[in-house]
Amino acid sequence: MTKRVLIAGFKHETNTFSVLETGIAAYRERGLYFGDELANVFRDTNSEIAGFMDVAERHGWTPCYSVAGDASPSGRVTKAAYDEITGRILKDAMAGGPVDAVLLQLHGAMVADHTDDGEGLLLRMLRLELGPSVVIGATLDLHANVTEDMARYADVIVSYRTYPHVDQREMANECGELVARTLAGEIAPVCTVRRGPLLGGVDHGRTTAPGPMRDALAMAKAVTERPSVLSVSVLAGFAAADIPDVGPSVIIVGDGYDPAHRVDADRIVSFMWETRGVRTVEPETSAMAVAVAREKGRPGAPVVIADAADNPGGGGYGDSTGLLHALHESGLDKVAFGALFDPESAAACHAAGVGATVDLRLGGKVDTVSGPPLVCRAEILALSEGRFRLEGPMMQGVPIDMGPSAAVRVGGLDVVIASRRYQNYDRNFFRELGLEPADYAVVAVKSSQHFRAAYAPGASAIVMVDEGNGITTTDVRARTYANVRRPIWPFDLA
């Protein structure tokens, strides 16, 4: 008899320092799909849902599509949004009787109004509703803050192994195959999670250059040579969450319980501690970024500048203006900047039309940390509704909706303005507005690391700007924590 397998997703990376709440509207803006929409939207994309579909097709399962919800990283998820989406998952898991297995795409760093452990609570509710015999598999982002409840209530957990995250579909396939082996009675998986007294580590998980994360992953691969080890995940954690279980961790999925798994995980955690201060990328000032751009930037081989302290991919507002001001004042020409979150300016551009010149106050509207707006006269180059699919390699084929968007020229800067917050990790964020990144001498993006997948090839230089004045700054000492476990590095331990 064919197996019935629920496929669902509920993702959010919660920056508890953000003033923006994450309600159901935030999910509808970024992506909220139901039932067969999941198959139509995600088929042939580089996504976990597509990976789960691969496994279901290989094994002849009957997929039961529930809901896939993803909201841009921001503040806590409202209880109403949490209840609506989890309620749909729980209902669909029992429709027509309990399913044989559940495959979930999660993030692992969700904090809601009523719980610090959004994923752990969902997994607990599923386990209580479905009982111990239903197999539950979940994928996590590499930046998950993994809790004991996640490990207790899931049978299989597999996280990404790349940053930029270009292996979502691959990791979902790995997770799904372990679930398939469990359904076949070949294995009896048990998850073990271990962490150390760290708020951050393993170079924030970067895998684009040799460093701590690559070394930790090599250690993890060696552990999988043990016959009882099915999978090992190394997670960098998400430090912008002020919760007790924040920080890097290691998950071992074993075939049954084995105390050696805890020892193996602790060995990798010890390596995280030993390399806690090692970074492969050092942050620079806007002034330094401008100097590098002036020296090396040219069309065909642009200098790529990442505005890391205001990264919407980590909960940043996407409207900070420090780098924008610096580039505008530099007098540099052929500079592309985007995407700046500013629905007010986007609306003004749409009202005026292509070719018009308008007075704008660009950015600096969400919070005081964003800095003052750039007051300017701008020529409107292009307008768009902001809908496109990602080129890749990260999340290739996944649909994006930036909302009403515009490209404007301010001196030597061509700025993409969006009505919704997105990290720029794909060239189509520019191309949707008719801007070709390779035509510019300088390309400035709101991102911290993901941009490298699309923009590093062909770049003459890459500069990460982080002056410690945004809510996604890599300098954790710039934030005031009240709820993290103590003692913890770098606050209490050397």
- HEC states along 85-122? HHHHHHHHHHCCCCCCEEEEEECCECCECCECCHHHHH
Eight-class DSSP state of 65: E
In a shared domain, residues 168 and 220? yes
Return the amino acid letter for 188: A
CA atoms 455, 457, 459, 465: torsion sign? positive
In a domain, 494, yes or no: no
**pLDDT tens-digit readout, 246-257:** 999 999 999 999
Please identify, among 274, 296, 331, the residue that sits at the C-terminal boundary of a domain: 274
Question: In terms of domains, do 168 and 197 share one?
Answer: yes
Do 313 and 438 lie in a common domain?
yes
> Do 248 and 290 share a domain, yes or no?
no
Residues 6+ apart with CB under 8 A from 172: 47, 48, 49, 50, 51, 52, 54, 55, 103, 105, 139, 158
Residue 274: other Cβ atoms inside 10 A: 11
Cis link prior to 132 (omega < 30° from 0)? no
Residues 290 and 260 both lie in one domain: no
Residue 245 is assigned to a structural domain of this protein:
yes
279 occurs within a structural domain: no
What local confidence, expressed as pLDDT, does residue 71 receive?
98
Element (H, E) at 161: none
Say if CB 289 and CB 463 are below 8 A apart. Answer: yes
Amino acid symbol at 220: A
Inter-CA distances, 312 with 27, 151, 190, 192, Å: 15, 28, 35, 31
Give SS3 for 149.
helix
φ, ψ at 77 (rounded to 5°): -75, 130
Residues 45 and 396: beta-carbon distance below 8 Å: yes
Minimal CA–CA distance to 194: which of 164, 151, 131, 228? 151
Q: At what angle do helices 212-223 and 259-274 cross, to 10 degrees?
A: 170
Residue ranges in the chain whose pLDDT is less than 50: none
| Tokens coding 242 | 């002020």
> Do residue 262 and residue 384 come from a single domain?
no
198 and 260 in a common domain: yes
Tell me what pLDDT residue 493 has: 79
Tell me the pairing of strands 4-11 and 62-70: parallel
- Predicted local distance difference test score (pLDDT) of residue 1: 72
Same domain, yes or no: 26 and 164: yes
242 and 174 in a single domain? The answer is yes
**Structure confidence by residue, pLDDT tens digits, 147-189:** 999 999 999 999 999 999 999 999 999 999 999 999 999 999 9
Pull the structure tokens for residue 126.
Answer: 């599923």
Please indicate, yes or no, if residue 39 is contained in any of the structural domains: yes
Cα 34 to chain center, whole Å? Answer: 21
Measured CA to CA, the distance from residue 95 to residue 333 in angstroms comes to 59
Kindly state whether residues 341 and 404 are assigned to the same domain: yes
Contact between 13 and 71 under an 8 Å Cβ cutoff? The reply is: no
**Residue 155 belongs to domain spanning:** 4-274
Task: Quote the pLDDT of residue 66.
Answer: 98
Q: Do 209 and 342 lie in a common domain? A: no
What per-residue string of b and e applies to 139-168 under the rule 16 or more CB within 10 Å gives b?
bbbbbbbbbebbbebbbbbbbbbbbbbbbb
Total domains, the chain? 2
| Within a domain: 318 | yes
Q: How far apart are CA 40 and CA 31, in angstroms?
A: 13
Write down the pLDDT at residue 469. Answer: 87
Is 491 a member of any domain?
no
Same domain, 343 and 423: yes
Residues 393, 388: Cα–Cα separation, whole Å: 15
Q: Is residue 119 part of a domain?
A: yes
